[in-house]
Amino acid sequence: MKKYYTLLLAIVVFKAGLGQGYQISLKTPDFKSGITYLTYYMGSNFNVADSAAISNKGTAIFKGASKLPPGIYAIFLPGNRLRVEFLIDKEQVIAVTADTTDLINKTIITGSKENILYDQYQKFASSKGMLIQQERNAYATSRTKEDSLLHEKNYNNYNKQLNEYREGIIKNQPNSMMAALLKAMKEPPVPTKVPVTKQDSLSNYYEYKNHYWDGITFMDDRIIRTPFFLRKLERYYREVLSPASDSIIRDVDYKLLLARSAPEMYKFLLNWLTDEYINPKYMGQDAVFVHLFEKYHSKGLSKWLNESQMDGISRRAYMLMSNLIGDKAADLDMLDVADNPMSLYNVSADYTVICFWDPNCGHCKEVVPRLDSIYKASWKQHNVKIFGVLTPDGKADIKPEWLSFINNHKMTDWVNVYQTKEAEAKNVAEQRPSFRQLYDVSMTPTLFLLDKEKRIIAKKLTWEQMNDLLEVKWKTPSSN
């Protein structure tokens, strides 16, 4: 799915706005041929917006009928080793003269007021950055305490000067793109209170979380095409915000509401969030993806997606809707080994483990006997039952192999069931979802854990993880 999102990002996020168009002229005397690329930042990557051939006079022109979306752009010179960075906002007739002997200090950019500030900032930051690095290196090699203190003092002083310069731009040029970028670049203040109690730690966490997005409004499209926004977004949802699906859903709804007045930001957020939770890293977070589908995609609020993209999102959502953590599991009406009707809901147990498996699956041949061993050794005594569902891969009748595997491994304590071809065909004819769709079974073995009321507690765990979870449940009286 990451491949899908990368394609989606390239197609959707770089949708140029309406207007008089753009023209970026490049003059680079050190090159007389080759292809140069106009790119924009997207996280740590550069995406290509346009390309042009350099003439024998060292010139090239990037030109388009529609305006470029605002952000930080870079022209990569032939060979893709050297680049010139600049801002694109409302003014989009820009001339760039690049001197490769010193791209930062000798490059000249005209036609854009925003780039005057950006150029000044780059030069100042570059000079202070060199001094900061020198002091850092000197501190690391200091031989006396006096030298260490001196280099530490110089280091802090140069950092202070750089921060004051940034704050000066924000204060004196508050409506500039440079000010917006500098505010967005700020890291949230790290709480200084030393935690003594659990409440102290929680207070520090909430203070950090509540200030995490200071400087970013989610109503400014310009922030998307920067080297820091995507990384900041990833860190927030993967490390800062609670992984509980309810917390994530409340948060994304609020941010998407803010972003509705910034169309490109809205598109970017909805695309990224959809990709992040379509195959989530933590169990239960697929509820976030289903929520995004039901509230946004299915309501026509992502019209920029093409038919194929929407079809993929819709299919995945329908595979997940009926097997979310906390929901009651769908009933399974099948036949047992003696061809008698057997229903999942007729299984009486404190916990029910559903195991979708195939006797011809190599992984199943290893896992299922181990699952049966831990069941007989421990689970059975705690009123756990296993509902084993034959899940054939293909149209061949593998019932004989299934019965043979059950008998050879003495799995008679399981509730072993299968679905006939006739029943499967009837489901298709009546357009009813199959058990594969109801339980999102795309591989075998697949395990689900249900409570006494057949609510889904966990899914798609290994048998070892399932055992660990059950042991925790048995040790917690309120869970039984």
Confidence label for 479 from pLDDT (cuts 50, 70 and 90): low
Residue pLDDT, tens place only, 1-24: 333 334 444 444 444 444 589 999
Mean pLDDT of the chain: 92
- b/e map 340-367, b = 16+ CB within 10 Å: eebebeebebbbbbbbbbbbbbeebeeb
Round to whole Å and give the CA distance between 259 and 1: 24
Three-state DSSP class for 432? coil
How much is the average pLDDT of 89-110? 92
- What is the Cα 246 distance to its own chain's centre? 17
Q: What pLDDT score does 200 carry? A: 85
Q: What pLDDT score does 393 carry? A: 82
DSSP state of 194: P
Task: Please tell me the chain's helix, strand, coil percentages from 3-state DSSP, rounded to the nearest 5.
Answer: 45, 20, 35
E strands in 68-222: 71-76, 83-88, 93-97, 108-110
Write the single-letter amino acid at 32: K
Residue pLDDT, tens place only, 104-125: 889 999 999 999 999 999 999 9
Q: What pLDDT score does 13 carry? A: 45
Sequential DSSP letters for 63-81: EESSBPPSEEEEEEPTTSS
Round to whole Å and give the CA distance between 148 and 135: 10
Q: What pLDDT score does 20 carry? A: 80
How much is the average pLDDT of 205-233? 93
Which pairing describes strands 415-418 and 351-357: parallel, antiparallel, or unpaired? unpaired
Protein fold of 333-479:
Glutaredoxin (3.40.30)
Kindly report the length of the chain.
480
Note the CATH number of domain 2-110. 2.60.40
How much is the average pLDDT of 394-412? 91
Residue pLDDT, tens place only, 231-281: 999 999 999 999 999 999 999 999 999 999 999 999 999 999 999 999 999
Torsion of CA 164, 165, 170, 173, to 10 degrees: 140
Round to whole Å and give the CA distance between 273 and 107: 38
Token duo for residue 311: 């079809």
Q: What pLDDT score does 366 carry? A: 95
Q: What is the residue whose two structure tokens read 């009748």?
A: 397
Rg, the chain, Cα only: 30
Contact 219, 262 (CB under 8 A): yes
| Residue boundaries of the structural domains of the chain | 2-110, 118-185, 206-320, 333-479
Kind plus residue range of the DSSP H or E element containing 219: none
pTM over 0.75: yes
Contact 166, 186 (CB under 8 A): no
Angle, vertex CA 188, rays to CA 184 and CA 194, nearest 5:
175
Q: What pLDDT score does 477 carry? A: 66
Q: What pLDDT score does 228 carry? A: 92
- b/e map 182-221, b = 16+ CB within 10 Å: bbbbbebeebeeeeeeeeeeeebeebeeeebbebbebebb
How far the first Cα of the chain sits from its last, in Å, is 38
Three-state DSSP class for 265? helix
- Among residues of the chain, what percentage have pLDDT more than 90? 85
Residue pLDDT, tens place only, 307-353: 999 999 999 999 999 999 999 999 999 999 999 999 999 999 999 99
